[in-house]
Amino acid sequence: MVKTEVTLCGIALKNPIIPASGTFGFGYEFAELYDINCLGSISVKGTTVSPRFGNRTPRIAETPSGMLNSVGLQNPGADAVVETELPRLAAVFDGPVMANVSGFSVGDFTAACEKLDAAPQVGWLEVNISCPNVHGGGMAFGTSPEAAAEVTRAVRKIAKKPVIVKLSPNVTDIVSVAKAVEDAGADGVSLINTLIGMRIDLRTKKPVLAEKKGGLSGPAVRPVAVRMVYDVYEAVKIPIVGMGGIARAEDVIEMMLAGASAVEVGAANLTDPFACRDIVKDLPAVMERYGIEDLESIIGGAH
């Protein structure tokens, strides 16, 4: 019998499969389709301290082997998430969840994190300093080691829960940012967020997305994600949550060999709402096929 259990920042998970923020709503929506308690955890929809309507439409565009999104952190705000969304999720999911938090200033991050940190369902704060789809914040914090460290230190001061910082791939050197947030007190890092991309409509001769550019996700980005997780694993001692184009159980194993302790599944949920369930179901057989008895034993095994 293979062992799929893993530990993330001291919290035990039945398996490493976590639906990624922004691709799984607040989780309870998928409970209408299958028992989501099969999942290791859930990273809920990105939350800001105040409600956000999001970007103008169109804000989704298909691409070969992926998709572009420019949703712009549409969410009801931290108070509504704590008072309404998380209790609804707790009614159908019995494990700890990740609260994904974004902001436009250090104060925004700390204010939202303080509210979500107090929620009993929250096991980790996933501090998103890497969203490419908002103006005046978001990814701006994730492209500078100094700015990333500043946000991390501020959140770490007020948070009782483990702090996992979500990193941007839209940098020359992701390792320097990872090391900066580790030094600033992060308990873990998650990577990668989307790569900035663009599509142009040949009929209108204008960008397809209303905001012109968006974040590329899906299988097209997986080799980039694997490389970045591999590089960061060699540079830091804190756990890594790997993501980027994960769609099959084999992808999970590849990402863990690169150095991930757990794996988030994003765009695959948008094309197949049963993607995470099927990955969980397929994982034991794929482990047996490759002679893996214990998933934790392969973390960083490619190094």
Note the pLDDT tens digit of each residue in 224-280: 999 999 999 999 999 999 999 999 999 999 999 999 999 999 999 999 999 999 999
pLDDT above 70: percentage of residues in the chain = 97
The two three-digit tokens of residue 253, written as one number: 């194993």
Q: Which of 9, 38, 113, 131 is catalytic?
A: 131
pLDDT at 135: 47
- Give the span between the Cα atoms of 232 and 142, in whole angstroms: 15
Mean pLDDT to the nearest integer, 27-37: 97
Chain-centre distance for alpha carbon 56: 23
Q: Convert 262-277 into a string of H (helix), E (strand) and C (coil).
A: EEEECCHHHHCCCHHH
Within a domain: 1: no
Mean pLDDT to the nearest integer, 67-76: 93
Within a domain: 135: yes
Within a domain: 172: yes
CATH code of the domain covering residue 20: 3.20.20.70
- Give the span between the Cα atoms of 72 and 95, in whole angstroms: 28
pLDDT at 139: 53
- For the CA atoms of 282, 46, 129, 135, what is the dihedral angle to 10 degrees? 130
Q: Tell me the pLDDT band of 39, cut-offs 50, 70 and 90.
A: very high
Residue 131 annotated as catalytic: yes
Is the Cα dihedral 293, 294, 297, 300 positive or negative? positive
CB 24 within 8 A of CB 269: yes
pTM: 0.95
Q: How many CB atoms lie within 10 A of CB 256?
A: 26
Within a domain: 14: yes
Mean pLDDT (the chain, rounded)? 95
Within a domain: 167: yes
pLDDT at 140: 64
Within a domain: 205: no
pLDDT at 130: 72
Q: Tell me the pLDDT band of 183, cut-offs 50, 70 and 90.
A: very high
Q: Which of 70, 4, 8, 69 is nearest to 43 (CA)?
A: 8
Within a domain: 67: no
Query: DSSP assignment of 58-114, as one string?
Result: P-EEEETTEEEE-----B--HHHIIIIIHHHHHTT--S-EEEEE--SSHHHHHHHHH
Query: DSSP assignment of 234-301, as one string?
Result: TT-SS-EEEESS--SHHHHHHHHHHT-SEEEE-THHHH-TTHHHHHHHHHHHHHHHTT-SBGGGGTTT
pLDDT at 131: 61
Residue bearing tokens 């969304």: 85
pLDDT at 11: 98
The pLDDT tens digits for 162-181 are 999 999 999 999 999 999 99
Secondary structure E strands in 121-236 = 122-128, 163-166, 188-191, 195-198, 200-201, 206-207, 213-217
Range of the domain at 164: 6-54+73-195+218-298
Within a domain: 40: yes
pLDDT above 90: percentage of residues in the chain = 92
Q: Tell me the pLDDT band of 142, cut-offs 50, 70 and 90.
A: confident
Number of domains in the chain: 1
The pLDDT tens digits for 206-218 are 999 999 999 999 9
